[in-house]
Structure 1
Amino acid sequence: MSLTSQFVQNLKRFRLVTFDVTDTLLRLEEPMRHYQQKAADCGVTGVDRGQLERCFRQQFSALSREHPNFGSQSPDLDWQQWWMQLVSRTFTCVDDRLTPEQLAKIGHCLISHFRTNACWTHIEGARELVQHVRAAGKCVGVISNFDPSLSQVLAAMGYAGKFDFVLTSYEAGVMKPDSRIFNKALQRMSIPAEQALHIGNKLDMDYVGARNSGWSGLLVDDEERTDSDSRHTFASVSLLLQALDTQEIQW
Structure 2
Amino acid sequence: MLSSFKGVFFDAGDTLITADPPVNEVALTMATQFFPDLAPPLLFSALAAARAFFGKYYVNYSSQEEDRLLTDMAQAMRTALRETADVDIDFLPFVQRVRDSIRYRPFPDVLPTLRSLCEQGKTLAVVSNWDPALPTLLAELGLAEFFAFILPSAEVGVEKPDGRIFSLALQRLGLEPQEVVHIGDQYESDVVGARAVGITPILLDRKGKARHQDVICISGLAELIVGGEGIRGRG
TM-score range, shorter chain: 0.7 to 0.9
Amino acid across the alignment from 2:211: R
What's 1:167 paired with?
Answer: 151
Closer/same/farther in 2, CA of residues 183 and 121 from structure 1, 3 Å limit = same
- Mapping of 1:93-172 within 5 angstroms? 93=81, 97=87, 99-100=89-90, 103-114=91-102, 119-172=103-156
Amino acid across the alignment from 2:60: G
Structure 2 unaligned spans of 5+: none
- In the alignment of these two chains, the number of paired residues is 225
Closer/same/farther in 2, CA of residues 72 and 89 from structure 1, 3 Å limit = closer
Amino acid across the alignment from 1:24: T
Closer/same/farther in 2, CA of residues 180 and 124 from structure 1, 3 Å limit = same
Q: Distance in 1 between matches of 2:38 and 2:18?
A: 24
Q: Deviations over 1:205-237 (max 9, x none)?
A: 1112112211111101222424532xx112x22
- Mapping of 1:183-194 within 5 angstroms? 183-194=167-178
Q: Distance in 1 between matches of 2:100 and 2:223?
A: 36
Q: Distance in 1 between matches of 2:46 and 2:143?
A: 32
Give the SS at the match of 1:183.
Answer: helix
Amino acid across the alignment from 1:33: E
Please give the TM-score of this superposition, normalised by the length of structure 2. Answer: 0.80
Q: Distance in 1 between matches of 2:98 and 2:109?
A: 28
- Mapping of 1:219-234 within 5 angstroms? 219-221=203-205, 222-226=208-212, 228-229=214-215, 232-234=216-218
Closer/same/farther in 2, CA of residues 187 and 242 from structure 1, 3 Å limit = closer
Identity of aligned pairs, percent? 24
CA apart distance, 1:126: 2.1
What's 1:70 paired with?
Answer: 59
Give the SS at the match of 1:141.
Answer: strand
CA RMSD of aligned residues (A): 3.1
Give the SS at the match of 1:161.
Answer: helix
CA apart distance, 1:47: 6.5
Amino acid across the alignment from 1:188: R
Give the SS at the match of 2:214.
Answer: coil
Give the SS at the match of 2:144.
Answer: coil
